[in-house]
Amino acid sequence: MAEEWKEKVIEEKLGGKREWTEEERTELCHQLDQDLEHHIDNMTSTKYKDGWTEENWKEQMSEHPLFAPYVQEEGVTEGEAPINPLSEGLAQLKFDPEHNTPQEVAQNYKEEGILQFKYKKYRLAAANFSEGIKQKCPDGELNAQLYNNRAAANSHLGNYRSALKDCEKAFELKPDYMKAVSRAVECATKLKLWDDVFMWCDRGLKLDPGEQRLKQTRLTAVKEKKLQERDQRKKTQEEKRKESDEQSLLNTIQARGVRLGTTASKASMSITLSDLEPCHPAAQGSRVHINECNELVWPVMLLYPEYQETDIIQHFSENDRIIDQLEAVFGDNVPPAPWDQQHKYRLQNLHVFFEDRQRAKLCRVDAHVTLAQTLSDPRYQVMGGTPGLIILVEGKFMTNFMSKYTGTRPSPPETDDDEEECANPEEVECDVEEYDCEPVPNDPPE
């Protein structure tokens, strides 16, 4: 149709002449412009009809092959949208292996991936390059480009190991592929795989001995590997020192005769570091340790069952007396605890116990002994890495609380003959067991 219009213009304007001068060309263009302006001026002004309106725009778009897949009824998801036959035909023309050779399909996927890569849609780009690789076309160079391009997309996604593998495949297919070498050096550097950096730099320098960037990268990798080896040696030494300190701690605890409670699910009854980790939130970060005086320092929990309250002494040296720590909490110069409205919990009123879990009994503790003496008692078990002491005051609650363990009301020490019979606590069962089987007066010492 264009040729017919051209022949008509030549015949009408130039009388069929085929060879034109520059002046004739200029004159022809001027006449055509005038004819177009005259035609537009003589056109009848009419209202535009058959345009898209708010009512029919969906129907109009649905007839277009590019817009049809996106025009959906309400409630229909994008994945359920029907594929327009024209759109499907266009896709088949480009990617369908029945209409294209494997090399053509791979090339089309490569071009599509490059387009997505330019728009920084790296996941879609990598997917297209992968589809191109799946075609297994006989063109080795095209396959090498697909692997290298997928490596570039994965590199931008932070998938450096996958990118490094793709570079290896690209280099196998094309041994002189310098782009694959450069990208492999970059990925290996990101992963701090210095031996791989050396290998790829050497490969690149064989292809181009004058490549200064590869030379500089290799020198940098040598320095970084030395630093990495130094840091690894330091880390190994630190781990050995930590392991030695932890073993020394375990040995010290065992030497002190401290028994650690273990969970029922634990197969081994030997002491492990997990048994020393405090379970109480307030004691976190205060695990038992050895101080500069070679003393065990424990986090100790004081329990007040009458008010269901607790205190944590985070650093309780094993050679400190219990009464000294209690004085810091309940001494005459210390204000009473907020929960102690009756001011009953004063130092002179306190009774100290620990729980014999194996026999379900309370054991009275002389507050004048040290923590080490208490923990070394064969009836005591440290649970959750935190020793616990039960604090009570004389009264109805103490009587009821102790009866839950014994089933009877506690009785005061009896005659001297009875005390001698209780010389061995493992042989005679008492309602409330005394610390070291020594008689404890009703009132604690002041």
Amino acid at 325: Q
Considering only residues 352 and 431, tell me which one the structure prediction assigns the higher pLDDT.
Answer: 352
Rounded to whole angstroms, the Cα distance separating 45 from 64 reads: 29
Residue 443: CB partners within 8 Å, gap ≥ 6? 348, 394
In which domain, by residue range, is 307 found? 282-437
Q: Give the number of other CB atoms < 10 A from CB of residue 110.
A: 22
Q: Clarify whether residues 307 and 427 are in a common domain.
A: yes
CB 173 within 8 A of CB 143: yes
CB 367 within 8 A of CB 324: no
- What's phi and psi for 61, nearest 5 deg? -70, -35
Q: Clarify whether residues 298 and 406 are in a common domain.
A: yes
Task: Specify the CATH number for the domain of residue 328.
Answer: 3.10.20.90
Rounded to whole angstroms, the Cα distance separating 386 from 261 reads: 10
Element of type H or E holding 322:
helix 322-330
Please report the pLDDT score of residue 269 as a whole number.
52
β-strand 309-317 against 296-304: which pairing, if any?
Answer: antiparallel
What pLDDT digit, counting tens, does each position of 229-255 carry? 999 999 999 999 988 888 888 888 888
Q: Which two tokens stand for residue 297?
A: 């320092």
Q: Which two tokens stand for residue 257?
A: 């005769």
Rounded to whole angstroms, the Cα distance separating 150 from 117 reads: 10
Q: Clarify whether residues 169 and 306 are in a common domain.
A: no
Is residue 268, in this structure, part of any structural domain at all? no
Q: Clarify whether residues 376 and 300 are in a common domain.
A: yes
What pLDDT digit, counting tens, does each position of 84-135 carry? 566 666 666 777 777 778 899 899 999 999 999 999 999 999 999 999 999 9
CB 216 within 8 A of CB 239: no
Is residue 40, in this structure, part of any structural domain at all? no
Q: Clarify whether residues 162 and 300 are in a common domain.
A: no
Task: Specify the CATH number for the domain of residue 185.
Answer: 1.25.40.10
Average pLDDT score over residue span 181-198: 95
Is residue 60, in this structure, part of any structural domain at all? no
Considering only residues 59 and 146, tell me which one the structure prediction assigns the higher pLDDT.
Answer: 146
Q: Clarify whether residues 432 and 288 are in a common domain.
A: yes
What pLDDT digit, counting tens, does each position of 284-296 carry? 667 888 888 889 9
Rounded to whole angstroms, the Cα distance separating 316 from 294 reads: 14
Residue after which a domain boundary falls, among 224, 240, 262: 224
Q: Clarify whether residues 298 and 402 are in a common domain.
A: yes
Where residue 78 falls (left for φ over 0; alpha for ψ -120 to 50; beta otherwise) is alpha
Residue written as token pair 């029907």: 82
What pLDDT digit, counting tens, does each position of 390-427 carry? 999 998 999 888 888 764 444 444 444 443 333 333 33
Is residue 83, in this structure, part of any structural domain at all? no
Residue after which a domain boundary falls, among 197, 224, 251: 224
Count of the separate structural domains present in the chain:
2
CB 282 within 8 A of CB 312: yes
pLDDT above 70 covers what percent of the chain? Answer: 74
Residue 365: CB partners within 8 Å, gap ≥ 6? 322, 352, 353, 354, 374, 389, 435
Rounded to whole angstroms, the Cα distance separating 78 from 72 reads: 8
Q: Clarify whether residues 200 and 333 are in a common domain.
A: no
Residue after which a domain boundary falls, among 224, 241, 257: 224
Q: Which two tokens stand for residue 192?
A: 């701090």
> Is the pLDDT at 377 greater than 50, yes or no?
yes
Considering only residues 328 and 58, tell me which one the structure prediction assigns the higher pLDDT.
Answer: 328
